[in-house]
Amino acid sequence: MDDTTIVNVGTEKINALWATVSQYAFAFGIKILAAIAFWVIGRWLIGFAVGMVQKSLERQKVDPTVLRYVGSFITVTLNILLVVGILGFFGIQTTSLAALIAAVGLAIGMAWSGLLANLAAGGFIIVLRPFKVGDFICAGGVTGTVKEIGLFTTAINTPDNVLTMVGNNKIFSDNIQNFTHNPFRRVELKAQLSGAADYQAAIALLRQRVAAIPNVLGEPPVDVEILEFNLVGPVLAVRPYCHNDHYWQVYFDTNKVIKDALGADFPAPMPAQTVIVQQAGGA
């Protein structure tokens, strides 16, 4: 076999190899492009389907808390099915993949038990409804307005406008205070009187002035009573009632009324102590 024959044989093998590689690369490239197209179209369809479900639930006046939770759950589920479908398009056995996902899920579940606990707690929050989106609550050490109840966390916007994400399990395993649940709320304030002041006149004046504050409820009536005593004199408990939306307005206005009402006609409360000094007689 001469050199020309060897070169021709080598060239033919290279050409055959290149043709095979090109064929597989072309087929693989087509699948990649198809997978990208499936992903884009699938994501659009998922968004469209979730939007349709949410609009349908909105027409039925479903609570926003349930609405957002259902939307998140459907989105996650459909995305998982989309990924499984794309992998199946590549020829990967989905049954084997399901077993692999189950095994990985078990391992992740053991490692991230807190994450699954948050998921379970989120379901209980939706079912038991201790609060809903828009409620002003204190839960998990955070006080604020509930913005969203997600699969794993709850978004709470604090009064100083800081969005705080709290794990659902932390919320569900702790005490929950819902300030919005009841139709009205009591404002707790104190007023210090001098020991020489006419406390009965002060109580009557505060009841009249505080009751005239805008958004203070007439029923239950304003409660003004002696709460305790200290070195200065009696301390009055001033307790108006108002709607939850007007709490801080009534709180600050009541403080102003206390200052104005007790500032002119009543002696200024000043702490006083009597000190008795006894000198020992000389020996």
3-state secondary structure of 247: helix
pLDDT digit string (tens) for 177-221? 999 999 899 999 999 998 888 889 999 999 999 999 999 999 899
56's CB contacts (< 8 A; 6+ apart) are none
- Calpha distance 208→201 (Å, rounded): 11
In the CATH scheme, what is the code of domain 3-111? 1.10.287.1260
- Calpha distance 62→58 (Å, rounded): 6
Element of type H or E holding 111: helix 94-111
**Can 3-111 and 130-178 be said to share one CATH topology?**
no
Could you tell me if 139 and 169 are in contact, meaning their C-beta atoms sit under 8 angstroms apart? no
Strand partners, 149: 154
In this predicted model, which residue has the larger pLDDT, 255 or 118? 255
**Is the pLDDT score of 8 beyond 60?**
no
Task: At 86, list the tokens.
Answer: 């794309």
Nearest to 101 by CA among 79, 114, 84: 84
Indicate the class that CATH gives domain 130-178.
mainly beta
- 261-273 exposure pattern, b = at least 16 Cβ within 10 A, e = fewer: bbeeebeebeeee
Backbone angles phi and psi of 170, in degrees to 5: -65, -40
**Is the pLDDT score of 9 beyond 60?**
no
59's CB contacts (< 8 A; 6+ apart) are none
Task: Kindly state the average pLDDT of the residues 112-120.
Answer: 73
Any idea where the domains of the chain sit in the sequence? 3-111, 130-178, 184-263
Task: At 11, list the tokens.
Answer: 């060239």
CA 182 to each of CA 131, 134, 137: distance values in angstroms, whole numbers, following the listed order: 12, 14, 12
CATH 3.30.70.100 fits 184-263, yes or no: yes
pLDDT digit string (tens) for 222-258? 999 999 999 888 999 999 999 988 999 999 999 999 9
- Chain Cα centroid distance, residue 185: 22
- Calpha distance 180→243 (Å, rounded): 9
For the chain, the distance separating the N- and C-terminal CA atoms, rounded to the nearest angstrom, is 141
